[in-house]
Amino acid sequence: MSSNTTNERTTGESTSETEGLSDDTIIETDISVGPDSSRTTGRPNTIVSADSLDVYYGDDRALSDVTIEIPEHRVTAMIGPSGCGKSTFLRSINRMNDRIPSAHVDGALSFRGKNVYDEDVDPVALRRKIGQVFQSPNPFPKSIYDNVAYGLRVQGKADDVDLDDAVERALRGAALWDEVKDQLDESGLDLSGGQQQRLCIARAIATDPEVILMDEPTSALDPVAASKIEDLIDELVEKYTVIIVTHNMQQAARISDKTAVFLTGGELVEFDDTARIFENPDDDRVEDYITGKFG
Amino acid sequence: MSTKRESNFLADVDLTREKLVNRLFYGTLVVASVFGLVMLVLLIADVLWEATQALSTFDIDIGNFLTGTSSSRAEQAGFGASILASLWLMALTAVLAFFIAVGCAVYLVEYAPENRTTRLIEANLANLAGVPSIVYGLLVLALIVNDAGLGSVILAGAIALALLIVPIIIVATIESIRAVPSSVRDGSYAMGATKWQTIRRVVLPQAMPGILTGTILALARAIGETAPLIMVGTMLHATRYPSGPLSSFSAMPTQIYNWTYQADRMFNGLAALGIVVLLLFLVAMYALAGYLRNRYETDDGSISNV
Ligand SMILES: Nc1ncnc2c1ncn2[C@@H]1O[C@H](COP(=O)(O)OP(=O)(O)OP(=O)(O)O)[C@@H](O)[C@H]1O
Ligand SMILES: [Mg+2]
């Protein structure tokens, strides 16, 4: 992933589909378990996994030796004190870390079994499978409609689908349609913070990604807006896999199936079913962190 | 401001000295601003005075002045051919300078490797913007007018003016592009957009008001430039309407300049009127730039709040 090759690759618009990430390989594994039942019965597939993953910024190690298997169609929460590398982990899944010149990665991070840091993986193609919602809402200074249509347009799918229909579906999926259906031409920036964040979720799901990464998506919102997003996440997981970073223990306990606890130094100290992490963690430091003794 | 009760609490805080310094500094700033303002008012008053004097002294037909061509006989001389030449110059300069400058700025901000050379180039853009305009005129005279054999035509003048303002537009464009918040870029990249898609669909549209404002202000500087056009070579009297980029010409500032050193006093009067016309063009351009800035300012504000 020298920056040269990355640049060269990212300039083509339609050539971004690579072998390892072509649609065929991905859908095969997708059908095995029905999304709804899979949440309560059966063992889900692993969709994202890390194997001895280290991430450095220059010489500073932000993640050290992280090994994890994140299940499909589940909500996985990442918790831990500030600076422990949660955002770094999230960004290394969709290779947004490539945008930080000093960042580099050791070890493997796989999406559906394919190491996303392999030479033949184009980060642009990868990001078309893995959507992201950021900490503060960042809608484009465009109309609500254009915000939602953005992904379909840049991914060259706008001509293949009924765009109006796709925009409506995405906005409904983000529980925003009823509030904005009469003002689709207005700027996305005129919405409230909570609405903007749901607009960003609509933008992310409009292109039907497989995984949605969320980095503290409710930390800039009031409790009512936050609980709307939480309800939404509960629905999203029927179609998508959600990986969410949060500083809010209650939130992690409420919405996630699995919880990963990172501690200072970029170590993943525990990863298990959320219920067990919160009731009976193995590691004392995790217990201390969850009960608020430090962090 | 402070009530009695408060002053009890704050009795130990002595601000007399600070307040004095504040007042002194404030006074200096007011004097400096008033000085600039007074000079501007004097300048405008002088120009208008000369122009009204000219109108009352000589028998000048405003209609003929605005539409006619210049002539060696002052009674028949008009400014129209020069106005048209300036419009041609501005159009060509705008097109040449805009695309070169925006391309260069996008390259420097988005594509150029972050190293010494890039930083050196960026730092020297400001120096380039300070090069005396006559130097660009000389360059174009040597390379374009003579060597390339283009002759003293509007296009040659436009190239000189474009060279002059390209660095100014680059600097404005770089600033506007840098002002686009990285969160918005991240949003685009995370949607699976390529670099070019992100630049074209998100960065440039958001930077465009700033780029346009910078371009118009740079053009406002170019429209009054005289020295490079004299270097390139213009007609003494714009006796013909320019028919296109390859016509010989005398633009507004050069025509004014030529009129001012004619022996016939009426020509001096015409020059005064010409200056008023040139100023009106300037005011119109500044107004347009100000309009663009205000119109998009609110948007920018709400972006930076997010
Ligand atoms: N762009 C960067 N350049 C250099 N170092 C960075 C960069 N981003 C993060 N780091 C460092 O990497 C470490 C992990 O940062 P990261 O943002 O992943 O933490 P986090 O767990 O998300 O924290 P928070 O809860 O505060 O968001 C920190 O020590 C941070 O200083
Ligand atoms: Mg973070």
Instruction: Give tens-digit pLDDT for B249-292.
Output: 999 999 999 999 998 999 999 999 999 999 999 999 999 998 98
A162 in any annotated domain = no
The closest alpha carbon to A207, from A152, A154, A140, A168, belongs to: A152
Rounded CA gap, A17 and A24, in Å?
11
Q: Is residue B305 scored above 50 in pLDDT?
A: no
Positive or negative, the CA dihedral B222, B125, B134, B96 is negative
Predicted confidence band at B303 (pLDDT cuts at 50, 70, 90)?
very low
Of B186, B195, B201, the CB nearest to A11: B195
CA distance B102 to chain A (A): 19
pLDDT at A11: 41
User: Minimal Cα distance from A151: which residue of B?
Assistant: B191
Q: Is residue A90 part of a domain?
A: yes
Which chain A residues are within 8 Å of B114, Cβ to Cβ? 101
Which segment of A19-33, A138-152, A221-235, A253-267 scores lowest on mean pLDDT? A19-33
Evaluate whether residue A10 is within a structural domain: no
Sheet with A75-79, side-by-side order of all strands: A130-133, A211-215, A241-245, A75-79, A258-263, A267-273
Highest mean pLDDT pick, A159-168, B2-11, B100-109: B100-109
Q: Which residues surround ligand 2, an ion (CB under 5 A)?
A: A 87
Q: Check CB contact under 8 Å for A141 and B183.
A: no
Q: How far apart are CA A122 and CA A107, in angstroms?
A: 18
What distance in Å separates residue B124's CA from the closest CA in chain A?
25
Best residue for ligand 1 mutational test, from A54, A88, A134 (most atoms within 8 Å of Cβ): A88
Q: Tell me, what DSSP letter sits at residue A121?
A: -
Asked whether the predicted pLDDT for residue B300 surpasses 70, the reply is no
If one counts every other C-beta atom within 10 angstroms of the C-beta of residue B145, the result is 21
pLDDT in tens, A183-212: 999 999 999 999 999 999 999 999 999 999
B92: Cβ–Cβ under 8 A, 6 or more apart, which residues? Answer: B154, B155, B158, B162, B245
pLDDT at A6 over 70: no
User: Are the C-beta atoms of residues B255 and B74 closer than 8 Å to each other?
Assistant: no
> Ligand 1 centre and the CA of A88: distance in Å?
6
Residue B54: pLDDT over 60 = yes
Gap from A52 CA to chain B (nearest CA, Å): 25
Looking at the structure of chain A, the number of domains it has is 1
Can you give the pLDDT at residue A224?
A: 85
Q: Which of A201, A53, A29, A24 is nearest to A116 (CA)?
A: A53
Residue A15: closest C-alpha in chain B: B194
The CA distance from A239 to the nearest CA of chain B, in Å, is 18
| pTM recorded for the entire structure | 0.80
CB A246 near ligand 1, within 6 Å:
no
Is residue A116 included in any domain, yes or no?
yes
Residue A221 confidence class, pLDDT cut points 50, 70, 90: confident
Tell me which of A3, A21, A111, A154 to substitute to probe the interface with B (most B C-beta atoms closer than 10 Å).
Answer: A154
Q: pLDDT category, A219, cuts 50, 70, 90?
A: confident
Rounded CA-CA distance B105/B170 in Å is: 5
B148-181 pLDDT, tens per residue? 989 899 999 999 999 999 999 999 999 999 999 9
Residues of B in contact with A131 (CB under 8 A): 190-191
Quick: pLDDT tens for A234-286: 988 999 999 999 999 999 999 999 999 999 889 999 999 999 999 988 888 88
Range of the structural domain that residue A279 is part of: 46-139+210-291
- Vertex B51: Cα angle to B49 and B55 (nearest 5): 115
Chain A contacts in chain B segment 92-131 (CB below 8 A): 111, 114
In a domain, A170, yes or no: no
Average pLDDT of chain B is 90
CA distance A282 to chain B (A): 36
Tell how far the Cα of A219 is from the centroid of ligand 2, in angstroms. Answer: 11
- Whether residue B295 lies within 8 A of chain A, CB to CB, comes out as no
| Residue ID of nearest Cα to ligand 1 atom 28 | A83
User: Do the Cβ atoms of A17 and A125 come closer than 8 Å?
Assistant: yes
> Which CATH number belongs to the domain containing residue A216 in this structure?
3.40.50.300
Residue of B138 and A25 predicted with greater confidence: B138
Distance A96 CA to ligand 2 centre (A): 13
In a domain, A199, yes or no: no
Query: A71-82: per-residue pLDDT in tens?
Result: 999 999 999 999
A141/B188 CB distance under 8 A: no
Kindly provide the ipTM of the predicted complex, given to two decimals.
Answer: 0.82
Distance CA B89, CA B15 (A): 58
Residue A124 belongs to some domain of the structure: yes
Does A164 reside within a domain? no
Helix (H), strand (E), coil (C) string for A174-186: CCCHHHHCCCCCC
Indicate whether A226 pLDDT > 90.
no
pLDDT > 50? residue A34? no
Whether A193 is in the pocket of ligand 1, judged by its Cβ within 6 Å, is: no
Inter-chain touch A141–B189, beta carbons under 8 Å:
no
Query: B306: closest CA among B207, B180, B193?
Result: B180
Residue from A55, A63, A82, A87 to probe ligand 1 pocket by mutation (most atoms less than 8 Å from CB): A87
Ligand nearest to the Cα of A215, by number: 2
B193–A124: do the CB atoms touch at under 8 Å?
yes
